[in-house]
Amino acid sequence: MLQKREKTIAGDERQTLDAVVVGAGAGGLYALLRLKREGRTVRLFEAGSEVGGTWYWNNYPGARVDVPSLEYSYSFDRALQQEWVWPERYSAQPQLQAYFSHVADRYGLRDQITFETKVVSAEFDESRSLWKVRTDGGEVVWARFFIVATGPLSEPIFPKIEGMSTFKGTSVHTGRWKTDGADVAHKRVGVIGTGSSGAQIAPELAKTARKLHLLQRTPAYSVPSQNKVLDAQEIAHLKSNYDAIREHARANRSALGIDVNDVGAFEVSEDERQRIFEERWQYGGLGFTAAFGDLYLDVDANKTAADFVRQKIREIVEDADVADRLMPDTLIGAKRLCVDNGYFQMFNRDNVELVDLRENPVLEIDETGIVTAQGHIDLDVIVYATGFDAFTGSILKIDIRGRGGKELKAVWDSGPRTYLGLCVAGFPNMFIVNGPGSPAGLANMVTLAETEVDWIVDCIQSIDRQGKSEIEAIQEKQDCWGRTLNEMAEQTIYPLANSWYVGANVPGKPRNFMSHLDYPEYVRSCRASAESGYADFRVE
Ligand code: FAD
Ligand code: NAP
């Protein structure tokens, strides 16, 4: 479809595109690729200077996937699957960055991407059924469809600590390592945060830092990745079974090839339970909490897995006092489980010190370090591994206005509301990828992005075939979707933790569980909608 150009009353030339995509991560790149293949006119705006999204920004030492690389990759092209080599079971950030860069080159996507450009506003013009999209460079683009692929974990958050800005050393957030990264060799480093980012970066920095202080507020559950280099034989074997690997993963709630043991934790003897946990621990990765079918459903069952990890911490950490302080006392898995490469082992190093913020809180940051209740920690570098304003942070950074000029920020005042995680009532022709209300955060998000983008592109094609110009979520359907999500979540332990899944990591953010818990069920809902000709939407 040729790009339309028209003159406005003011005489400026106006581009009218089929679609504007925001974000060049896994989701946005695939959206661009699919729309391009359908002959659509598209432009993609990306704040960073390269593709990759998460894997562009989070290039901190130790960054790597917590799900197997063979699975955390696109499946749409068998040739791509076969030609790309993942060198490790859990590949590191440079390989992921290279992969997305290769995809951009291989499918000729770069011409349509404008880098180092943020979309700052998007407004739906009801009279023309078009989105008016404005960038921070002042460019205005008009498009029929507005595709928001800004990432569920792309808006970093910093704690509010008095004196932060006075620190004279280097301050850096893991999620902005790309632009602000630090060389820590022979330096005194403080890492704040013990989520997945903190658990990944700290052991890596400790290898070269003069001294590393890990500032822990909530002790984390972490399991070993048991990462390894894949040899040629293993790679060949996996690749010859790729279709089966994908099929197995897509049948799983998490869209990952995790073998879920449907047996309950108390349906086996104590010895058998320990044997199964040990087997999963030795295998490595997120499959640990799939050791029994009720670990996410039953608090007592959950405790058996938590106890197992606590025992492992006692065995690994040589100093009993440090081990005690590292002991998590929450539910395992209710916050995302960390998958590490030597996290607990790191505390056996002479140059690593654990600072337990529960007994020794941070009072302030000054020019030379962090002041805690027990004294001053002299630092050259402060690493904020303090997480993200998940799901809504990057979307609401854009001033999005739908029907009647209504602000998305106002509509989501008490939490994000979507239908199928893809659309929002009052915001016609806007689609979100890896957004709230989808299985984002809990499912393999490359697979999920493919699923969602395929649905979006098929939907656009269908609207055109029907000669229609608008598609919009229906309020009642959206409310019902929200209730279904809550009902699913309430049967699990997820709402019980103060995690980013519920927005509890951002002061003042309304508490909502923002994910769909079951990828196959989610796919069925999306498919049913498409098969009904989008009868569950308003199409005009
Ligand atoms: P992103 O990759 O976040 O890309 C969004 C892009 O949008 C970014 O490049 C951003 O710059 C751009 N953008 C945002 N706002 C604007 C704007 N206004 N204008 C222009 N551009 C904008 N998930 C897993 O399933 N497995 C993992 O192992 C895993 N590891 C992770 C490790 C880290 C360190 C983090 C932070 C997340 C991880 N995730 C993981 C989640 C990860 O975010 C998703 O898997 C996936 O990368 C999301 O892709 P996306 O395209 O939706 O978003
Ligand atoms: P996170 O899970 O939200 O962890 C943030 C950490 O910072 C928590 O330990 C939190 O403590 C701490 N923190 C926040 N504010 C603090 C303060 N004021 N003082 C002291 N500590 C503070 O964020 P993340 O580690 O960046 O991970 C986010 C998600 O990204 C992960 O859950 C995962 O999905 C993804 N990720 C994946 C990988 C991977 O292995 N592939 C790596 C990184 C990220 P509290 O717990 O007490 O709030």
Closest CA to 361 of 349, 350, 372: 372
Residue 4 scores a pLDDT above 80: no
Positions of E strands within 314-419: 338-340, 352-356, 362-366, 369-372, 375-378, 381-384, 399-401
Nearest CA to ligand 1 atom 42: 54
Q: Measure Cα distances from 319 to 242, 244, 323, 353 in Å.
A: 45, 45, 6, 11
Task: Write phi, then psi, for 390 (nearest 5 degrees).
Answer: -70, 155
* Cα-to-centroid distance, 213 and ligand 1 (Å): 28
Other CB atoms within 10 Å distance of the CB of residue 293: 16
* Cα-to-centroid distance, 195 and ligand 2 (Å): 3
Closest ligand by atom to 72 CA: 1
Q: Which atom of ligand 2 is closest in space to residue 505's alpha carbon?
A: 48
Average model confidence (pLDDT) for the chain?
96
Q: Ligand 2 pocket check: which of 96, 215, 386 to mutate, most ligand atoms within 8 Å of Cβ? A: 386
pLDDT tens digits along 62-121: 999 999 999 999 999 999 999 999 999 999 999 999 999 999 999 999 999 999 999 999
Q: Ligand 2 pocket check: which of 93, 505, 511, 515 to mutate, most ligand atoms within 8 Å of Cβ? A: 505
Q: Which tokens is 393 given? A: 């942070």
Question: Does the predicted TM-score (pTM) go above 0.85?
Answer: yes
CB neighbour list of residue 9: distance below 8 Å, 6 or more residues apart? none
Other CB atoms within 10 Å distance of the CB of residue 53: 29
Where residue 14 falls among pLDDT bands split at 50, 70, 90? Answer: low
Residue 6 scores a pLDDT above 80: no
Do residues 331 and 301 touch, judged by C-beta distance below 8 A? Answer: no
pLDDT tens digits along 187-241: 999 999 999 999 999 999 999 999 999 999 999 999 999 999 999 999 999 999 9
pLDDT tens digits along 326-345: 999 999 999 999 999 999 99
Percent of the chain with pLDDT over 70: 97
Q: Which tokens is 44 given? A: 């993609």
Say whether 371 sits in a helix, a strand or coil. strand
HSE on the CB side for 480, CA within 13 Å?
A: 7
Decide whether any atom of ligand 2 lies within 6 Å of the 409 Cβ.
Answer: no
Residue with tokens 């928001």: 148
Decide whether any atom of ligand 1 lies within 6 Å of the 27 Cβ.
Answer: yes
Q: Which atom of ligand 1 is closest in space to residue 434's alpha carbon?
A: 52
Decide whether any atom of ligand 2 lies within 6 Å of the 505 Cβ.
Answer: yes
pLDDT tens digits along 177-197: 988 888 999 999 999 999 999
How many Å apart are CA 375 and CA 342, to the nearest integer? 29
Residue 295 scores a pLDDT above 60: yes
Q: How many Å separate Cα 460 from the centre of its chain?
A: 26
* Cα-to-centroid distance, 384 and ligand 2 (Å): 9
pLDDT of residue 178: 87
